């Protein structure tokens, strides 16, 4: 965690080693009692509030007013037009960059030469939310940041004591974030080795409700296993799968549990989708894709396919539209030199029956997340592969392939489609612009660092995206591909 101790101007650093030293000195000198534990936390992990950086109240109406699920909607196309009355800055696009705690230079190598280490240490791998003029982002240093979406200035920061891999939700004046990590402690690992059920996610695993403009904690809900996925908020209730093999329903106003359902599978990064009265989520060990009744918690159906490997069907966040839920999975290819492949599944939301499936090319095992986020808009499914670096478009109803673009680097994010162009960030640190009518690559913009499953958000003519190197970037769409405008 040595990199996590670095500080950038106006940004708190997560000095884990400093807290350990402070506690040791306090006990040794016998003066720890003079400070409460909360005061010590405040010193080492400052919850910063800078209300002077809040956007003007007059700007709020030009942005989304809520954020209830990963990617803003069940199709995962986080695109928002602005009216003619909007300021020129929003209609033309704003440009800024923000470095979180421990961020490393975008033009440099990853930590210790390893992208996985970087993502799990300082990264902002999952993506941002933009509501009422404020951008919210979580990072794997444990922070949630609120930034002025026009200027990029810090409004507040909150420390959550574990990795923050969720896409922050906004329900009224509450921001909902969750924490957890991808690890197993020794005891849980040995249970797995012995063939017993285990729990993923040592440490403090939590859902926090924070005040939208100050970051103040309103309530906290804890679970035994990690809560890396983003919850889905349906009618004021939060639904999420966790590392302890359950799907939880929690009241978004109070943080009180309504029910929990034992699905036995731990949930990796599969942020649930909602549709037809069900909550859809992927699980690992055993590998199944589940539909859970949102009212009762009853498992309505579960589906699997042969040959699933690694986290199988549990890394992917599903998309839903028109009675079809789309999920990607990773399978054993049977090819020793290229051992895995991605499979895209379209399932009937009411029955779990597979409507169609598309197998992508064989390739090497990706180092981290092994699936990409599907996105649905206009009756088309857009999907990439972290295995072969191709990006595809498929007909939602039939599965017919419409086009393929080879981007040449692992793809884990979903796209943002606006004005006939798909914008997709990918591993090489580039954002591609692809014409959706025929799959023509119009251009790309090199940002640097690396992009994980961080699906972009577009408001007006600004694209917002987070980076594995610990950055949030805002840039005008015309900088990605001038010919696309």
**CATH number of the domain enclosing 393:** 2.130.10.10
What is the pTM assigned to this prediction? 0.91
Q: Which pLDDT belongs to residue 27? A: 27
Same domain assignment for residues 39 and 76: no
Same domain assignment for residues 24 and 53: no
Same domain assignment for residues 12 and 76: no
The candidate with the shortest Cα–Cα distance to 63, out of 94, 40, 37, 41, is: 94
Structural domain range at position 20: 1-45
pLDDT band at 6 (very low <50, low <70, confident <90, very high): very low
Tell me the per-residue pLDDT of 123-167, one tens digit each, with 9 for 90 and over.
998 999 999 999 999 999 999 999 999 999 999 999 999 999 999
Q: Which pLDDT belongs to residue 39? A: 61
Parallel, antiparallel, or unpaired for β 246-251 and 457-459? unpaired
pLDDT at 4 over 50: no
Alpha carbon distances (Å) from 397 to 272, 351, 422: 21, 16, 20
Task: Give percent above pLDDT 70 in the chain.
Answer: 90
pLDDT band at 99 (very low <50, low <70, confident <90, very high): very high
Alpha carbon distances (Å) from 259 to 46, 215, 246, 262, 294: 34, 27, 10, 10, 10
Task: Give percent above pLDDT 90 in the chain.
Answer: 82
Tell me the per-residue pLDDT of 315-341, one tens digit each, with 9 for 90 and over.
999 999 999 999 999 999 999 999 999
Rg, C-alpha atoms of the chain: 21
Same domain assignment for residues 335 and 258: yes
Q: Which pLDDT belongs to residue 312? A: 79
Same domain assignment for residues 74 and 16: no
Same domain assignment for residues 69 and 195: yes
The candidate with the shortest Cα–Cα distance to 19, out of 36, 42, 3, is: 42
Q: Which pLDDT belongs to residue 28? A: 33
Same domain assignment for residues 10 and 59: no
Same domain assignment for residues 25 and 137: no
CB burial of 90-112 (b: ≥16 within 10 Å; e: otherwise) equals bbebbebebbbbbbbebeeebbe
Same domain assignment for residues 402 and 455: yes
Q: Which pLDDT belongs to residue 194? A: 86
* Residues whose CB falls within 8 Å of the CB of residue 351, separated by 6 or more in sequence, listed in order: 301
Same domain assignment for residues 176 and 299: yes
Same domain assignment for residues 21 and 103: no
| The residue to which tokens 């017993």 are assigned | 196
Same domain assignment for residues 286 and 307: yes
The candidate with the shortest Cα–Cα distance to 185, out of 244, 141, 122, is: 244
Count of domains for the chain: 2
Tell me the per-residue pLDDT of 295-308, one tens digit each, with 9 for 90 and over.
999 999 999 999 99
């Amino acid at each position: 965690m040595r990199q996590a101790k670095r500080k950038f101007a106006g940004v708190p650093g997560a000095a884990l080693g400093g807290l350990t030293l402070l506690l040791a000195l306090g006990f040794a000198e016998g003066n720890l009692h003079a400070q409460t534990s909360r005061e010590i936390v405040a010193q080492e992990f400052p919850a910063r509030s800078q209300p002077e950086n809040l956007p003007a109240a007059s700007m709020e109406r030009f942005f989304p007013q809520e954020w209830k699920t990963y990617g803003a909607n069940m199709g995962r196309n986080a695109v928002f037009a602005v009216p003619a009355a909007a300021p020129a800055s929003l209609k033309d696009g704003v440009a800024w960059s923000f470095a979180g705690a421990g961020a490393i230079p975008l033009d440099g190598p990853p930590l210790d030469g390893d992208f996985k280490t970087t993502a799990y240490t300082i990264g902002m791998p999952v993506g941002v939310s933009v509501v009422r003029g404020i951008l919210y982002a979580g990072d794997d240093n444990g922070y949630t940041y609120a930034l002025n979406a026009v200027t990029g200035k810090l409004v507040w920061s909150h420390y959550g004591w574990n990795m923050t891999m969720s896409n922050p939700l906004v329900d009224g004046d509450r921001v909902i974030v969750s924490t957890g990590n991808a690890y197993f402690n020794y005891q849980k690992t040995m249970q797995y080795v012995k063939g017993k059920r285990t729990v993923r996610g040592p440490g403090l695993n939590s859902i926090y409700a924070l005040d939208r403009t100050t970051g103040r904690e309103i309530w906290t809900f804890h679970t035994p296993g990690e809560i890396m996925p983003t919850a889905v908020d349906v009618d004021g209730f939060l639904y999420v799968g966790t590392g302890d093999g359950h799907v939880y329903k929690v009241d978004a106003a109070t943080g009180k549990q309504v029910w929990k359902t034992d699905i036995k599978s731990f949930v990796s990064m599969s942020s649930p989708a909602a549709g037809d009265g069900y909550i859809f989520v992927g699980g690992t060990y055993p590998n199944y894709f589940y539909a859970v009744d949102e009212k009762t918690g009853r498992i309505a159906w579960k589906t699997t396919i042969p040959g699933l490997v690694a986290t199988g069907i549990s890394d992917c966040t599903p998309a839903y539209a028109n009675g079809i839920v789309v999920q990607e999975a990773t399978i054993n290819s049977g090819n020793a030199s290229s051992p895995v492949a991605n499979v895209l599944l379209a399932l009937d939301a009411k029955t779990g029956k597979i409507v169609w499936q598309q197998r992508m090319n064989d390739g090497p095992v990706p180092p981290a997340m092994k699936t990409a986020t599907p996105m649905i808009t206009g009756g088309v499914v857009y999907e990439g592969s972290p295995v072969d670096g191709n990006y595809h478009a498929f007909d939602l109803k039939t599965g017919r392939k419409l086009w393929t673009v080879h981007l040449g680097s692992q793809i884990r994010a979903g796209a943002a489609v606006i004005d006939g162009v798909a914008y997709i960030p990918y591993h090489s640190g580039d954002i591609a612009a692809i014409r959706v009518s025929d799959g023509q690559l119009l251009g790309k913009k090199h940002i640097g660092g690396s992009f994980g499953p961080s699906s972009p958000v577009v408001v007006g003519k600004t694209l917002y995206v987070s980076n594995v190197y610990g950055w949030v970037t805002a840039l005008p769409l015309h900088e990605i591909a001038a010919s696309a405008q």
